Amino acid sequence: MRKLAICALVIAIAAPNWSCSSMSNTQKGAIGGAAAGGTIGGIIGHQSGNTAVGAILGAAIGGAAGAYIGNIMDKQAAEMERDLEGATVTRVGEGIKITFASGLLFDVNKAELKQASRANLTDLAVILNKYPDTNILLEGHTDSDGSEEWNLDLSKMRAQSVANFLAGQAVMESRFTEMGYGESQPIADNATASGKQANRRVEVAIYANDKLKKTAEAKAGGN
C-alpha cells in the first residue's frame, strides 16, 4: 500500500493524467526523479515515516537518465528477490529498498548477527559487488519495548553490524551510511505482537551514486 501511495503522490504532482498501474518500474523511476528530485523525496520520506524511501526518491534524477538507472535497478532487484531468503525487496523510483526482519538477523536485544543470517548477507554482498556504482543506506529500527535510549542505541549497533559484515565481504565501506532510528519509525501497531515483530527490522536503501548518474546522463544525452 505504501509503495502505491508513493507512486500516486509523485504522479499527482508530476502528471495527474498518468496511471501507476500502466508504468514499468523503469518508467516510474524516470517520472519519480523528474517530478520529485530532492524536495518531493524528502516530503515522501517524512510523510511516510520512512527515511529509506525518502533517500531513494531524493537521489533520483529522472528523465531518460532515470530510466537508464531504473533498468539497472530492475535487474539488481530481480537477483535480490531470487537470492535473498526472508527479505522483502521493493523497487522504489530509481532505487531498491530491502527489509530484513530483525529476528532473521539478530537475537532479542542483541546486535551480533546470527550465524544463519550470514549466508543471506553474503549473497547480498555478492550482488552489491556486481553493481558497485550505488550508495547504500543501512537503517536499524526497533519496536517500542524498552527505553527510547536503549532502542536508539540498539538500532544503531544493528545497522553497524550489517555494515561491518558487508565490508568484510569486500563491499566498499565508502558506499555505506549507517543510521539507527530506534522506535521512531514504526510501520505497524506496537500494541500487538505482530506489529512489534514488523517494527523490529533492518532496512537497506540502494540508489545510484554520482558515477552512475553521470554515466546515465551521458547515455541519455547520446540517444
User: pTM for this one?
Assistant: 0.80
DSSP letter (8 states) at residue 67: H
How far is it, in rounded angstroms, from Cα 7 to Cα 190? Answer: 27
3-state secondary structure of 135: strand
pLDDT, residue 223, reads 57
Q: What is the pLDDT of residue 48?
A: 55
Q: Which residues pair with 177 in a beta bridge?
A: 137
How far apart (Å, rounded) are the C-alpha atoms in residues 102 and 179? 15
- Domain layout of the chain by residue ranges: 2-221
- The hierarchical CATH code for the domain 2-221 is 3.30.1330.60
pLDDT at 26 over 60: no
Q: What angle do CA 86, 160, 146 make, to 5 degrees?
A: 80
Q: Over pLDDT 70: what percentage of the chain?
A: 77
Mean pLDDT of the region 174-197: 94
- Per-residue pLDDT band for 29 (boundaries 50, 70, 90) equals very low
Average pLDDT of the chain is 84
Average pLDDT over residues 79-106: 95
Residue 191 CA to residue 69 CA, distance in Å, equals: 40
Once rounded to an integer, what is the mean pLDDT over residues 81-99? 96
Rounded mean pLDDT of 9-38? 42
For the chain, give the number of residues.
223
pLDDT in tens, 30-84: 444 434 444 444 455 555 568 999 999 999 999 999 999 999 999 999 999 999 9
